[in-house]
């Protein structure tokens, strides 16, 4: 395997011959880099080579450092759950550049900005033709700093789009009945076309009852059981779809082209990682409606990496930092990372950094297109909230 001089990383792709009664040509692991140090040692970043042969995932561990002119390198091929080892010889091969060299970053900020621009134009037209603007009411209970930040951003987005913003701020010790009464008041207000209860609510409140109290005609979060039920049934259409999964699908449709005509969904294999009512389940249902073949990976899935590796489209919404690894991805796939997690990082001024549910550094080297964190799905969630509110007003 030819290596560059000094410590310069050189992308490798391997065509492997496995000497144990079978041969696998073009056995391609997750694309990574190797570099040769002055001592002649080979290091791999960010992970070892590997891949699937039959039903088994194999990992290649190089045990002999080649010279710059070497034509092969010896090593060991080990099952992911090793019970034995298989001797391999990796022969040098000429192959296309790694997929990661041409991976596209799906810019959620740019796409969301385009969507919000379209919404503002439609709101302006509504004011001129119907004489009123859409109205969105946000109910905030308690003083959580993150919830207050989200509410402020939603109010600002409404203002920029020309949507009228209403709000009710209740103390953290508000009773169940007090919150329900606020929701009922907004249900009856003809100027309010969408109601959003900011989650999470304090522990003493019954979240399901409060969300169920929102009129289905104003359920712009899309969490009402009837909306979810209609989403799951063929031949029926929900009044609203949950904002985050709706934003994920919109990203796919607009990736590379904010005006539409993005990545294909119909006929593709999609794997959704996570099965929450907020993202995972509705995302899977939306992808089904778009004609994808859909699988859900969850906490009981025996080998999530093997399942994810079959996907053309991966939507990760499991809430575990960097859960999806690069060697779990099919080369050239599209990755939509819903997660946003804070992990400790002493090099950062805040003491932490934000990461998604996908290991971005590894995934970039394999995927054909990927959303960053932050700046991917997050901006689309608010854009879809505004879109749902506009659609509610347009039904009048």
What are the tens digits of pLDDT across the range 28-81? 333 333 333 343 333 333 333 444 434 444 444 433 333 333 333 334 344 444
Question: What long-range pairs does 75-82 form, CB within 8 A, spacing at least 24?
Answer: 77/16, 77/18, 80/50, 80/56
* Residues above pLDDT 70, as percent of the chain: 73
Q: Which residues 6+ apart lie within 8 Å of 322 measured at CB?
A: 355, 356, 357, 358, 359, 360
| pLDDT at position 103 | 77
CA 26 from chain centre, in angstroms, equals 30
Maximum distance among all Cα pairs of the chain, rounded to whole angstroms: 78
Q: What is the mean pLDDT of residues 171-189?
A: 98
Least confident interval from 87-101, 164-178, 180-194, 359-373: 87-101
Write the burial class of residue 188 (CB in 10 Å: 0-12 exposed, 13-18 middle, 19+ buried): exposed
Q: What is the mean pLDDT of residues 299-318?
A: 97
Closest by CA to 195, choosing from 156, 143, 240, is 240
Active-site residue flag, 176: no
| Sheet with 313-316: strands ordered across | 104-105, 369-370, 334-337, 313-316, 269-273, 293-297
Q: How far apart are CA 327 and CA 304, in angstroms?
A: 11
Q: Which residues 6+ apart lie within 8 Å of 264 measured at CB?
A: none
Which one of the listed residues 107, 218, 219, 221 is annotated catalytic? 221
Give per-residue pLDDT as tens, 213-239: 999 999 999 988 899 999 999 999 999
| Sheet with 42-45: strands ordered across | 10-11, 33-36, 42-45
Active-site residue flag, 81: no
Q: How far apart are CA 313 and CA 101, in angstroms?
A: 19
| pLDDT at position 145 | 87
Give per-residue pLDDT as tens, 252-270: 999 866 666 689 999 999 9
Q: Which two tokens stand for residue 343?
A: 């992990």
| pLDDT at position 29 | 37
| pLDDT at position 157 | 95
Q: Which residues 6+ apart lie within 8 Å of 87 measured at CB?
A: 19, 20, 74, 76, 77
| pLDDT at position 396 | 85
Q: Are 58 and 50 in contact (CB under 8 A)?
A: yes
The phi, psi pair for 75, rounded to 5°, reads: -170, -165
Alpha helices in 233-375 (DSSP H): 243-254, 280-289, 304-308, 360-364
Give the residues across from 334 on adjacent strands: 313, 369
Which one of the listed residues 198, 246, 357, 364 is annotated catalytic? 198
| pLDDT at position 102 | 53
Q: Are 164 and 133 in contact (CB under 8 A)?
A: yes
| pLDDT at position 319 | 94
pLDDT of 91 higher than 60: no
pLDDT of 329 higher than 90: yes
Least confident interval from 17-26, 127-136, 151-160, 267-276: 17-26
Query: Which range, 7-11, 44-48, 349-353, is most confident?
Result: 349-353
| pLDDT at position 257 | 65
Q: Are 222 and 228 in contact (CB under 8 A)?
A: yes
Q: How far apart are CA 182 and CA 177, in angstroms?
A: 9
Q: How far apart are CA 328 and CA 306, in angstroms?
A: 7
């Amino acid at each position: 395997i030819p290596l560059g001089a000094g410590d310069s990383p050189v992308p490798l792709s391997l065509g492997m011959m496995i000497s144990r009664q079978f041969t696998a040509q073009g056995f391609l692991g997750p694309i990574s880099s190797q570099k040769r140090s002055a001592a002649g040692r080979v290091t791999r970043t960010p992970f070892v080579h590997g891949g699937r042969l039959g039903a088994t995932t194999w990992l290649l561990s190089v045990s002999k450092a080649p010279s710059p002119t070497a034509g092969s390198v010896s090593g060991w091929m080990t099952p992911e759950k090793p019970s034995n080892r298989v001797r391999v010889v990796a022969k040098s091969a000429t192959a296309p550049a790694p997929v990661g060299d041409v991976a596209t970053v799906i810019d959620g900020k740019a796409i969301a900005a385009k969507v919000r621009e379209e919404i503002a134009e439609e709101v302006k037209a509504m004011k001129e033709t119907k004489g009123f603007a859409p109205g969105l009411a946000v109910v905030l209970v308690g003083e959580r700093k993150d919830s207050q930040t989200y509410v402020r951003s939603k109010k600002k987005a409404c203002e920029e789009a020309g949507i009228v913003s209403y709000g009710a701020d209740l103390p953290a010790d508000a009773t169940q009945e007090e919150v329900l009464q606020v929701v009922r008041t907004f249900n009856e207000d003809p100027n309010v076309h969408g109601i959003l209860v900011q989650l999470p609510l304090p522990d003493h409140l019954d979240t399901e009852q409060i969300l169920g109290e929102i009129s289905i005609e104003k359920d712009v979060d899309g969490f009402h059981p009837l909306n979810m039920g209609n989403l799951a049934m063929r031949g029926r259409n929900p009044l609203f779809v949950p904002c985050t999964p709706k934003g994920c699908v919109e990203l796919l449709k607009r990736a590379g082209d904010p005006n539409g005509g993005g990545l294909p969904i119909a006929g593709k294999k999609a794997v959704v990682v996570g099965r929450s009512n907020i993202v995972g389940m509705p995302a899977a249902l939306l992808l089904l409606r778009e004609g994808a073949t859909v699988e859900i990976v969850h906490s009981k899935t025996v080998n999530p990496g093997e399942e994810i590796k079959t996907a053309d489209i991966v939507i990760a919404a499991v809430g575990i930092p960097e859960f999806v690894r690069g060697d779990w991805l099919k080369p050239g796939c599209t990755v939509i990372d819903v997660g946003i997690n804070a992990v400790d990082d002493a090099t950062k001024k805040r003491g932490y950094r934000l990461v998604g549910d996908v290991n971005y550094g590894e995934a970039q080297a394999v995927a054909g297109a990927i959303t960053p964190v932050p700046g991917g799905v997050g901006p689309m969630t608010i854009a879809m909230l505004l879109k749902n509110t506009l659609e509610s007003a347009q039904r009048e």
